[in-house]
Chain A
Amino acid sequence: MNSSQPLVVVQNLVKHFPITRGLVFERTVGSVRAVDGISFEIFRGETLGLVGESGCGKTTAGRTILGLYPPTAGTIVIDGTKVDFSSRKSMQSVRRKAQMIFQDPYASLNPRWTVGAIVAEPLRVHKLITNPKERTERVKELLSLVGISNRLVNRFPHEFSGGQRQRIGIARALACQPLFIVCDEPISALDVSIQAQVVNLLEDLQSRFGLTYLFIAHDLSMVRHICNRVAVMYLGLIVELGSRDEVYEHPQHPYTQALLSSVPIPDPKKDRMRKRIILSGDVPSPINPPSGCRFHPRCPIAMEICSQTEPEWKEVAPEHWAACHAL
């Protein structure tokens, strides 16, 4: 699975959103530092999990990688080609290779379009199939891949349930046969019994088509199930990155440790026996992140140096990195 050339390389990606004041003359008074310098690689065929709580920047990171937000700084290389966000041609070729699945099944499909039109859009826009009849055939193929009957091609999104709509969104993402799919919280809005259906579908499609996933989520149990490697984000930075079992069994960063200890376990005896690391305070705002290590105000083992200097990104075990002064 770890081929020598990674499919996606992200280097020092930064995305800031300016905050403006004033009605007539807008001036920038600050910025939301949603993503503040992250770097990682994703190898062909693997699923990299990107986890963190609200405000950590994971969704922004996913969208910036696909060019939905132009990055403030940093580079992104997909399938060997550096992405040039200012060139429409470059972006269009990126779009054929990299697609996205969205979180909200009720908002990510145009309510006025038929399901067939929704799934056909990428084929139309990229002129992959110009003959409408052939296009419809391909759409039917895609829909049956995700388990939606051909006869429903002319129905509208409101006639389907949340899980079914999410599958339609997946069919749409597959239309141009992409190499890489960013899954932005694809199951958070679904019921538990439907989540398993969709996750199993994603896995089957991956093994069938050799897809590579960036799986953005806050459900740590699901991430452990589906991902090969995991990156933990906090306030715009990655604090830990490693193979799945390594990170879950030997978390090095205090935030990762606290995060993992907070996840409820569906086993009463085990759950009540755990030693939970309860963090104090709330997640700070990305507008004004704390100095030094951003986690230091809530960190149970914070030292003096933590409020002064940002910790280095170190390899603490083979293929396992973390940024913490205590390591």
Chain B
Amino acid sequence: MNPLLQVRNLITRFHTPEGTVYAVNGISLHVNEGETLAIVGESGCGKSVTMLSILRLIPIPPGEIVAGEAILHDRDLLKMKDAELENIRGKEVSMVFQDPMTSLNPVLTIGRQISESLRVHLGMEADMAKRRTIELLEQVGISDAEHRLGDYPHQFSGGMRQRVMIAMALACAPSLLIADEPTTALDVTIQAQIMELVIQLRQQLGMAIIWITHDLGVVAGIAHRVIVMYAGFIVEEALVEDLYENPKHPYTASLLAALPRVDRRRDRRLKSIPGAPPSLLVEPKACPFSLRCEFALEQCAGENPPLEQISPTRKLACWVDISTGKAR
């Protein structure tokens, strides 16, 4: 089966007064139809930049997509003309961002913002667009939708605004929804509401989702497959159960060991990872995690391990087998 989206060797850099930021260093990934792929990593790992690069939403300059291809339905998003790409954004591929307050236009009503998308992308008439907008708002759980069409974003709470964002993203029934930390700024009970909504909608609409987050708990709840990123590289890729049960990359294992649990009694100290992520201003030559890795071998400081397919459903970029501590 051909994947819905196939990204190969994406390299993105930013040219700043302090130097070149090596934000994304050769990422290859794919998403299949109807599947939810989670991209997890801490700040600066490049997860957001990857998605923004694919949709060409990064400012150029100072950004530069040095290389790579992003194939959606047999067309390369990175090489398309702007007009063609604008046709795809919002229609076949939609994005939902972290802060709905800055992604929604504060001076336009909600109704207008959603219907605009419908009219521009699907060519709907004003009346049809209005009806469809009400349908969408109800679908995302906003009660009394008809009366809320004339409301402005600031009249909604954080959770409601995020629902509106989702409604806007789903307006044209995209085949791929990219959600960049959509629940990070929300309270935990509201986050649970939104996650339940998304799970329900993906069942109904069969769309694929790329969910970007730093929260390993959210990933466990929503993903089918997971990619772990660090310093602009993919370090591990696995099905969600496999990743949590048997993490193979030292970074993944350390992250999981650093997490406290709400469902278990405290049994030991959290295992912290010493040091801090490397500066992205330095061109990466060695394994970016080697300085903080408890399993690091000499090899790791010399050469960056490539991402290899170690089983039909797993990829790993590491020289070491962490169950033995020796080279793989």
The answer to whether residues A264 and B215 also contact, given A222-B260, A258-B189, A283-B187 and a CB cut-off of 8 A, is yes
Residue B120 is within 8 A (CB to CB) of chain A in the complex: no
Nearest chain B CB to A164 CB, angstrom units: 8
User: What separation, in Å, do the CA atoms of A259 and B269 have in the docked complex?
Assistant: 24
Which of A1-9, A115-123, A194-202, A286-294 lines the interface with chain B?
A194-202
Q: Hey, which chain A residues are within 8 Å of B219, CB to CB? A: 266
B255 touches A192 (CB 8 A): yes
**Min distance, Cβ B137 to any Cβ of chain A, angstroms:** 16
Within 8 A of B (CB), among A198-252: 199-200, 203, 218-222, 224-226, 245, 248
| Residue in contact with A279 in the complex, picked from B193, B220, B277, CB distance below 8 Å | B193
**In chain A, what residue has the closest Cβ to B243?**
A268
Most buried by A among B43, B189, B190, B274: B189
Task: From known contacts A191-B214, A263-B262, A266-B220, infer whether A282 and B188 are also in contact, taking CB-CB under 8 Å.
Answer: no
Residues in A neighbouring B271, C-beta threshold 8 A: 196
B189:A266 contact, CB within 8 angstroms = no
Taking the nearest CB of chain B, how far is it from the CB of A322, in angstroms?
18
Q: B261–A266 contact, CB under 8 A?
A: yes
Are A53 and B189 in contact, CB atoms less than 8 angstroms apart? Answer: yes
A53, A164, A264, A269: the one within 8 Å of B187 (CB): A53
Is the beta-carbon distance between B263 and A270 smaller than 8 angstroms? yes
Bound-complex Cα distance A225 to B255 (A): 16
Contact B266 A224 (CB under 8 A): yes
**Do B42 and A193 touch (CB < 8 A)?**
yes
In the complex formed, the residue of B with least CB distance to A285 is: B157
User: A residues within 8 A CB of B265?
Assistant: 245
A325 in the interface, Cβ–Cβ < 8 Å? no
**With contacts defined as CB atoms under 8 Å apart, how many contacts are there between chain A and chain B in the complex?**
128
For A195, the chain B residues whose CB sits under 8 A away are 258
Q: Which applies to chain A's interface (DSSP): helix, strand, loop or mixed? A: helix
Q: Is A130 part of the binding interface, using a Cβ–Cβ cutoff of 8 Å?
A: no
Contacts of A259 in B (CB 8 A): 188-189
Contact with A along B238-255 (1 / 0, CB 8 A): 001100100000000011
Q: Across the interface, name the chain B residue whose C-beta is closest to A197.
A: B272
Interface size class of B (residues with CB under 8 A): 35 or more
A267 on interface, CB distance cutoff 8 Å: yes
Q: Does B217 contact A (CB under 8 A)?
A: yes
Contact of A220 among B188, B254, B256 (CB under 8 A): B188
- Closest residue to B183 on the A side, CB-wise? A264
- In Å, the complex CA distance between A225 and B259 comes to 9
Interface residues of A in 34-56 (CB under 8 A from B): 53-54
Residues of chain B within 8 A (CB-CB) of A193 are 42, 254-255, 258, 272-273
A161 to B42, CA, bound (A): 14
* Residues 254-303 of A contacting B (Cβ, < 8 Å): 258-272, 276, 278-279, 282-283
Among residues of A, the one whose C-beta sits closest to the C-beta of B199 is: A272
Known: A54-B187, A203-B269. 8 other contacts (CB 8 A): A191-B42, A192-B42, A261-B192, A264-B191, A265-B220, A266-B259, A276-B196, A282-B160
Residues of A within 8 A of B (CB): 53-54, 161, 163-164, 191-197, 199-200, 203, 218-222, 224-226, 245, 248, 258-272, 276, 278-279, 282-283
